[in-house]
Structure 1
Amino acid sequence: MELEFSATTIEWRGPAPFLFAPLPPDESELIQQSARELTYGWGAIPVEATIGATSFTTSLFPRDGRYLLPLKVAVQRAEGIGLGDEVAVRMRLGR
Protein backbone atom coordinates (compact mmCIF):
# COMPACT_ATOMS: atom_id res chain seq x y z
CA MET A 1 0.00 0.00 0.00
CA GLU A 2 1.36 3.42 -0.94
CA LEU A 3 0.18 6.72 0.51
CA GLU A 4 0.93 10.41 0.03
CA PHE A 5 0.04 13.08 2.55
CA SER A 6 1.13 16.38 4.07
CA ALA A 7 1.59 16.96 7.77
CA THR A 8 2.85 19.57 10.20
CA THR A 9 5.70 18.19 12.30
CA ILE A 10 5.22 17.76 16.02
CA GLU A 11 7.48 16.89 18.92
CA TRP A 12 6.79 14.13 21.38
CA ARG A 13 8.69 14.04 24.60
CA GLY A 14 9.91 10.48 24.43
CA PRO A 15 13.32 8.84 24.71
CA ALA A 16 14.44 9.59 21.15
CA PRO A 17 15.24 13.00 19.59
CA PHE A 18 12.61 12.68 16.87
CA LEU A 19 10.09 14.93 15.31
CA PHE A 20 6.99 13.23 13.99
CA ALA A 21 4.62 13.64 11.08
CA PRO A 22 1.11 12.71 12.26
CA LEU A 23 -0.82 10.88 9.57
CA PRO A 24 -4.16 12.42 8.65
CA PRO A 25 -7.27 10.65 10.03
CA ASP A 26 -8.30 9.12 6.66
CA GLU A 27 -4.88 7.59 6.06
CA SER A 28 -4.69 6.36 9.66
CA GLU A 29 -8.08 4.69 9.29
CA LEU A 30 -6.98 3.02 6.06
CA ILE A 31 -3.88 1.64 7.78
CA GLN A 32 -5.90 0.43 10.78
CA GLN A 33 -7.94 -1.73 8.41
CA SER A 34 -4.77 -3.60 7.36
CA ALA A 35 -2.80 -3.33 10.61
CA ARG A 36 -3.05 -7.00 11.54
CA GLU A 37 -1.31 -8.06 8.35
CA LEU A 38 1.31 -5.31 8.53
CA THR A 39 2.34 -5.04 12.19
CA TYR A 40 5.30 -6.84 13.70
CA GLY A 41 4.11 -6.19 17.25
CA TRP A 42 2.80 -3.47 19.58
CA GLY A 43 0.94 -1.97 16.62
CA ALA A 44 4.15 -0.76 14.94
CA ILE A 45 4.04 -0.87 11.14
CA PRO A 46 7.22 -0.91 9.02
CA VAL A 47 7.38 1.67 6.23
CA GLU A 48 9.68 3.15 3.66
CA ALA A 49 9.09 6.89 3.44
CA THR A 50 10.38 9.71 1.27
CA ILE A 51 10.46 13.40 2.13
CA GLY A 52 12.03 15.61 -0.51
CA ALA A 53 15.06 13.72 -1.87
CA THR A 54 15.51 11.65 1.30
CA SER A 55 14.21 8.08 1.57
CA PHE A 56 14.34 6.20 4.84
CA THR A 57 12.92 3.20 6.65
CA THR A 58 11.20 3.37 10.01
CA SER A 59 8.01 2.20 11.68
CA LEU A 60 4.74 3.98 12.21
CA PHE A 61 3.29 3.64 15.64
CA PRO A 62 -0.23 4.24 16.91
CA ARG A 63 -1.02 7.16 19.20
CA ASP A 64 -4.42 8.58 20.09
CA GLY A 65 -6.26 6.76 17.28
CA ARG A 66 -3.80 7.87 14.59
CA TYR A 67 -0.33 6.92 13.44
CA LEU A 68 2.89 8.89 13.81
CA LEU A 69 5.77 8.78 11.34
CA PRO A 70 9.08 9.30 13.19
CA LEU A 71 11.46 11.70 11.41
CA LYS A 72 15.01 10.68 12.23
CA VAL A 73 17.57 13.40 12.94
CA ALA A 74 19.40 12.47 9.72
CA VAL A 75 16.18 13.10 7.75
CA GLN A 76 15.56 16.37 9.59
CA ARG A 77 19.06 17.61 8.76
CA ALA A 78 19.05 16.42 5.15
CA GLU A 79 15.74 18.14 4.40
CA GLY A 80 16.04 21.12 6.77
CA ILE A 81 12.96 20.06 8.74
CA GLY A 82 12.10 21.71 12.04
CA LEU A 83 9.27 21.67 14.54
CA GLY A 84 6.05 23.02 13.00
CA ASP A 85 7.21 22.62 9.40
CA GLU A 86 4.86 21.27 6.75
CA VAL A 87 6.23 18.13 5.06
CA ALA A 88 5.04 16.21 2.02
CA VAL A 89 5.43 12.46 2.55
CA ARG A 90 5.35 9.52 0.15
CA MET A 91 5.20 6.24 1.99
CA ARG A 92 5.05 2.51 1.26
CA LEU A 93 3.78 0.22 4.00
CA GLY A 94 5.24 -3.17 4.80
CA ARG A 95 8.67 -4.69 4.68
Structure 2
Amino acid sequence: MRVEFESELWIWDARKADTWTFVSLPADVSEEIRERAGGLSRGFGSLRVRATLGGSTWTTSVFPDSGRGAFVLPVKKAVRAAESVAAGDTARVTVELIDLL
Protein backbone atom coordinates (compact mmCIF):
# COMPACT_ATOMS: atom_id res chain seq x y z
CA MET A 1 0.00 0.00 0.00
CA ARG A 2 1.39 3.37 -1.03
CA VAL A 3 -0.21 6.77 -0.41
CA GLU A 4 0.73 10.35 -1.18
CA PHE A 5 -0.71 13.28 0.76
CA GLU A 6 -0.03 16.81 2.01
CA SER A 7 0.16 17.48 5.72
CA GLU A 8 1.38 20.16 8.10
CA LEU A 9 4.40 19.34 10.24
CA TRP A 10 3.67 19.63 13.96
CA ILE A 11 5.58 19.16 17.21
CA TRP A 12 4.81 16.73 20.01
CA ASP A 13 6.55 17.48 23.27
CA ALA A 14 7.49 14.15 24.83
CA ARG A 15 9.30 15.83 27.68
CA LYS A 16 10.54 19.35 28.23
CA ALA A 17 13.96 18.42 26.87
CA ASP A 18 12.73 16.20 24.04
CA THR A 19 10.46 17.06 21.10
CA TRP A 20 9.43 15.13 18.01
CA THR A 21 8.16 16.46 14.68
CA PHE A 22 5.38 14.59 12.89
CA VAL A 23 2.93 14.75 10.02
CA SER A 24 -0.52 13.19 10.36
CA LEU A 25 -1.79 10.81 7.74
CA PRO A 26 -5.31 11.60 6.47
CA ALA A 27 -8.12 9.98 8.49
CA ASP A 28 -9.42 7.94 5.53
CA VAL A 29 -5.94 6.61 4.77
CA SER A 30 -5.43 5.77 8.45
CA GLU A 31 -8.68 3.81 8.47
CA GLU A 32 -7.65 1.87 5.37
CA ILE A 33 -4.30 1.07 7.00
CA ARG A 34 -6.08 -0.22 10.13
CA GLU A 35 -8.30 -2.44 7.99
CA ARG A 36 -5.43 -3.81 5.90
CA ALA A 37 -3.18 -4.35 8.93
CA GLY A 38 -5.84 -6.53 10.55
CA GLY A 39 -4.18 -6.37 13.96
CA LEU A 40 -0.63 -6.78 12.58
CA SER A 41 1.50 -4.22 14.39
CA ARG A 42 4.66 -3.79 16.41
CA GLY A 43 5.29 -1.90 19.65
CA PHE A 44 2.86 0.93 20.40
CA GLY A 45 0.70 -0.24 17.47
CA SER A 46 3.36 0.87 14.97
CA LEU A 47 3.70 -0.29 11.37
CA ARG A 48 6.92 -0.13 9.35
CA VAL A 49 6.96 2.24 6.38
CA ARG A 50 9.20 3.74 3.74
CA ALA A 51 8.60 7.49 3.69
CA THR A 52 9.54 10.13 1.15
CA LEU A 53 9.48 13.90 1.58
CA GLY A 54 11.01 15.87 -1.28
CA GLY A 55 14.24 14.12 -2.29
CA SER A 56 14.63 12.32 1.05
CA THR A 57 13.53 8.73 1.60
CA TRP A 58 13.88 6.87 4.91
CA THR A 59 12.55 3.81 6.72
CA THR A 60 10.63 4.35 9.95
CA SER A 61 7.25 3.52 11.48
CA VAL A 62 3.85 5.17 11.66
CA PHE A 63 2.08 5.22 15.01
CA PRO A 64 -1.63 5.41 15.85
CA ASP A 65 -2.59 8.64 17.63
CA SER A 66 -5.99 8.27 19.28
CA GLY A 67 -6.23 12.02 19.91
CA ARG A 68 -5.98 12.76 16.20
CA GLY A 69 -7.77 9.62 15.06
CA ALA A 70 -4.99 8.96 12.57
CA PHE A 71 -1.57 7.45 12.14
CA VAL A 72 1.34 9.86 12.55
CA LEU A 73 4.74 9.79 10.85
CA PRO A 74 7.87 11.09 12.60
CA VAL A 75 10.00 13.34 10.38
CA LYS A 76 13.57 13.22 11.60
CA LYS A 77 15.77 16.27 11.93
CA ALA A 78 18.12 15.27 9.08
CA VAL A 79 15.15 15.09 6.67
CA ARG A 80 13.73 18.42 7.84
CA ALA A 81 17.14 20.06 7.37
CA ALA A 82 17.75 18.48 3.94
CA GLU A 83 14.30 19.52 2.71
CA SER A 84 14.24 22.93 4.45
CA VAL A 85 10.96 22.29 6.27
CA ALA A 86 9.93 22.98 9.86
CA ALA A 87 6.90 22.72 12.11
CA GLY A 88 4.04 24.73 10.61
CA ASP A 89 5.11 24.03 7.00
CA THR A 90 2.97 21.86 4.74
CA ALA A 91 4.80 19.08 2.92
CA ARG A 92 3.92 16.47 0.31
CA VAL A 93 4.72 13.05 1.76
CA THR A 94 4.61 9.53 0.33
CA VAL A 95 4.24 6.58 2.69
CA GLU A 96 4.59 2.95 1.64
CA LEU A 97 3.71 0.21 4.13
CA ILE A 98 6.55 -2.31 4.14
CA ASP A 99 5.03 -5.31 5.90
CA LEU A 100 1.60 -5.34 4.23
CA LEU A 101 0.99 -6.95 0.87
Superposition TM-score, scaled by structure 1 size: 0.90
One-letter code aligned to 1:24: P
**CA-CA distance at 1:91 after TM superposition:** 1.3
Q: CA deviation at 1:83?
A: 0.8
Consecutive aligned runs of 4 or more in structure 1 exceeding 6 Å deviation: none
Identity %: 38
What one-letter code is carried by the residue in structure 1 that aligns with 2:85? I
Q: Which has the larger radius of gyration?
A: 2
Structure 2 Cα separation of the partners of residues 54 and 17 of structure 1: 21
Q: Distance in 2 between matches of 1:79 and 1:18?
A: 17
Mapping of residues 16-95 of structure 1, within 5 Å: 16-36=18-38, 38-64=40-66, 65-95=69-99
TM, length-normalised to structure 2: 0.85
Q: Which runs of 5+ in 1 are unaligned?
A: none
Superposed CA deviations along residues 12-68 of structure 1, whole A, max 9, x for unmatched, are 011554210011111111111122364223210100010000001110001022110
Unaligned runs of 5+ in 2: none
